[in-house]
Amino acid sequence: MKKINIVLLRKDLRINDNPALVNASDLPTVVVFPAEARPPKGSAARVWLGHSLASLNQQLSGKLYLAAQPMATFIRETAAQFNIQGLYMAHGLSAEDKAFEQTLMPLCQQLNIELHFTDANLLWDLQTLQKADQSAYKVFSAFYRHAQKQPLLKQASQLNNIELLSLPGGALETEFVPEMTSVWGKKIIENWPGSAPGEPSAQQRWRRLCQQAFNNYQQGRNIPSQINTSLLSAAIEWGELSVRQMHHDLCQLSPSDDIEHFKSELAWRAFSHYLLRDYPHMDRENINPKFNHFPWLDNPLLLHKWQQGLTGIPIVDAGMRELWHTGYMHNRVRMITASLLVKNLLIPWQHGCKWFEQTLFDASPANNSASWQWVAGSGMDAAPYFRIFNPVTQSERFDKNTDYLCKWLPQLEKLPPKYRHAPWQAPNNVLQSCDFVLARDYPHPIVDLKDSRQNALSAYQNLKQLGKLQ
């Protein structure tokens, strides 16, 4: 029987710096995407995945195999035709990833297949990032200081030659991701402001950013009306770009505050994955169990208004509409919208996390949940609960000219700029002169920002007095 290797790709959808592909290349190789490993929850993520797989399949000359059946079935069927020497794949850290990998271990042992795991999507070996007493870091700054002293994981050598083996069946079809052909799926990929899914587009955008030396990244990344962020979060999440390659390329550039800040953002991603390793259920469970006692409020009506961008608070509604129409939301606005949900409305952070999981191209079990828990105060290195974003002052500071607001809420253009951040504060004579009617042209706020802030602080203080929080 012919000897072959199998490479499973999940969130390492690239050719460059892919250790699984390189390590398997000594034998004819079948490159497989296991259907059971596709994101089980996020509709937007599935849209991105479908396009990314189509791009990768083109890179592989149409030889990417889609294993529609359970992976165990595929391996058994393939082992009946070939002598499978090795199965190569990148480690995952989520609960679903770990469960998937656990099912393969006894099967490979039974069939005498060597199972090889790689760290394809990390900057550092997470096992080395421990305190002197071997405990895990809980604060990002300390984590990052230690990480900077550790060697980066090495990039894989260049993939010069690999014989790709085609198997009958397994053709990549659009129907694999029905969301791609839905009206919403087509709309968000068309409205997405970044490069097309897939490694070639991601590499092209990355080279352009490096050529521009990330000019004004540190300050400009806070302005939602401008494209000063990398717009590579989805490409990084799906492994179309190697974070090790990115870090290496950054180190070749002339040092600057902008570049150092981008490096720190890559480190924040690493810290989120570091947390996911120890808290694989952190997308639904508080990292800090003391928050299990927090008096959250389940209010389906208010949650729905938040999801639909109908809160009556412009910066929040603009962000939620950007999300729905593009599969993306600016990072500053993500924090503002999250703060309103969990701190002003007191709705459990898990509801917001699930909505972002459904609607973000870059939805990540690590980054998404860690960010929500950071805002809620229930995570590691979390924002203290008494720090509550004021969406009006945030809007005034970071969208001074209201370009972002008016892009997503064009009805606000009728108002003078000073009142667009908080239409309910406009005097009646101003509203009348503009023919602007609250509830007709734009909703009343669903919550009083001042009162709701005080309610959140009181709930936090009460829990603290009961000894539930420090």
Which pLDDT belongs to residue 465? 73
pLDDT digits (tens, 9 = 90+) for 401-432: 999 999 999 999 999 999 999 999 999 999 99
Structural domain ending residue among the three candidates 247, 278, 309: 278
Residue 312 lies in a domain: yes
Residue 152 lies in a domain: no
Structure-derived torsion over alpha carbons of residues 419, 423, 428, 430, reported in degrees to the nearest 10 = 30
CB 242 within 8 A of CB 122: no
- Same-domain status, 335 and 436: yes
Residue 127 lies in a domain: no
Domain carrying residue 453: 289-465
Going residue by residue through the chain (470 aa), what tens digit of pLDDT does each one get? 899 999 999 999 999 999 999 999 999 999 999 988 765 578 999 999 999 999 999 999 999 999 988 999 999 999 999 999 999 999 888 888 888 899 999 999 999 999 999 988 899 998 889 888 888 999 999 999 999 999 999 999 888 889 999 998 888 876 678 888 899 999 999 999 998 999 999 999 999 999 988 888 998 999 999 989 999 999 999 999 999 999 999 999 999 999 999 999 999 999 999 999 999 999 999 998 888 988 999 999 999 999 999 999 999 999 999 999 999 999 999 999 999 999 999 999 999 999 999 999 999 889 999 999 999 988 887 666 678 999 999 999 999 999 999 999 999 999 999 999 999 999 999 999 999 999 999 999 999 999 999 999 998 888 777 665 55
- Same-domain status, 312 and 353: yes
- Secondary element (H or E) of residue 284: none
- Same-domain status, 62 and 192: no
- Same-domain status, 17 and 81: yes
Kindly tell me the burial class for residue 275, based on how many C-beta atoms sit within 10 Å of its own C-beta (0-12, 13-18, 19 or more).
buried
Residue 14 lies in a domain: yes
- Which residues lie across from 29 on neighbouring strands? 5, 164
| Nearest of 65, 94, 68, 95 to residue 82 by alpha carbon | 65
- Same-domain status, 331 and 431: yes
- Same-domain status, 225 and 341: no
Structural domain ending residue among the three candidates 72, 100, 120: 120
Please report, for the domain that includes residue 199, its CATH number. Answer: 1.25.40.80
Please report, for the domain that includes residue 422, its CATH number. Answer: 1.10.579.10
Residue 393 lies in a domain: yes
Please report, for the domain that includes residue 35, its CATH number. Answer: 3.40.50.620
Residue 153 lies in a domain: no
Identify residue 302 by its one-letter amino acid code. Answer: L
- Same-domain status, 267 and 294: no
Residue 196 lies in a domain: yes
Structural domain ending residue among the three candidates 87, 120, 153: 120
Which pLDDT belongs to residue 385? 67
- Same-domain status, 297 and 260: no
Which pLDDT belongs to residue 358? 95
What is the pTM (predicted TM-score) of this model?
0.94
- Same-domain status, 226 and 293: no
Q: Tokens 């991701």 appear where? A: 177
CA angle 265, 218, 198 (to 5 degrees): 50
CB 386 within 8 A of CB 415: no
Helix residue spans in 279-402 (DSSP H): 300-308, 314-326, 331-339, 349-359, 367-376, 391-398
Which pLDDT belongs to residue 245? 95
Per-residue tokens: 10:
């999940």
Read out DSSP for 124-168?
S-GGG-B-TTSPBP-SHHHHHHHHTTSPPPPPPPP-----B---S
- Same-domain status, 196 and 231: yes
What is the total count of domains within the chain?
3
- Same-domain status, 432 and 344: yes
Which pLDDT belongs to residue 33? 94
- Same-domain status, 212 and 312: no
Residue 248 lies in a domain: yes
